[in-house]
């Protein structure tokens, strides 16, 4: 039997997944992806000794919305419970979903770029470096295509003291 080398518990175990592992496929599930975003942001805020309240609230609502939209509604519809999610009834749900998802990815993008820039505090960042925010945001937005490349960086964030 092998013993886990880190003392990670709960959602922080998502940060220890190696990119070559078959466990990476779990990150393709929308609620697990949302938990992954929550874990990354919480870990970076802890490392920077900053308050996690606002980010945790927004990311937690994102997790709940991802779970409700991608699992609860389809399961209830499959077992025969008539849930109408069309027309005007679905608009507030969709708008809330995108608002919280974009808010979470936006806050996380800012956290990660600022955390990465702490490694080189003497470097003079220019306008060209502002695209770091754009690239990172789209990396989170298109997660099915980018999680394998970004998980290596997440492992570094989790290991770096």
Instruction: Write the pLDDT tens digit of every residue in 97-118.
Output: 999 999 999 999 889 888 887 8
User: What does the pLDDT look like over 121-153, one tens digit per residue?
Assistant: 666 666 567 778 888 888 888 888 888 878 888
Q: How far is CA 157 from the centre of its chain?
A: 14
CA distances from 160 to 11, 18, 24, 119, 140 (A): 18, 15, 21, 11, 21
pLDDT, residue 83, reads 76
């Amino acid at each position: 039997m092998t013993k886990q080398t880190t003392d990670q518990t709960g959602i922080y175990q998502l940060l220890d997944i190696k990119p070559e592992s078959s466990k990476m496929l779990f990150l393709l599930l929308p609620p697990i992806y949302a938990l992954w975003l929550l874990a990354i942001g919480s870990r970076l805020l802890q490392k920077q000794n900053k308050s996690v309240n606002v980010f945790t609230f927004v990311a937690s609502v994102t997790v709940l919305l991802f779970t409700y939209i991608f699992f609860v509604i389809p399961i209830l519809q499959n077992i025969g419970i008539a849930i109408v999610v069309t027309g005007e009834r679905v608009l507030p749900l969709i708008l809330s979903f995108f608002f919280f998802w974009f808010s979470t990815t936006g806050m996380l993008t800012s956290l990660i770029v600022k955390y990465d820039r702490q490694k080189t505090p003497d470097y003079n960042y220019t306008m060209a470096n502002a695209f770091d925010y754009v690239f990172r945001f789209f990396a989170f937005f298109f997660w099915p295509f980018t999680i394998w490349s970004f998980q290596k960086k997440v492992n570094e964030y989790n290991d770096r003291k």
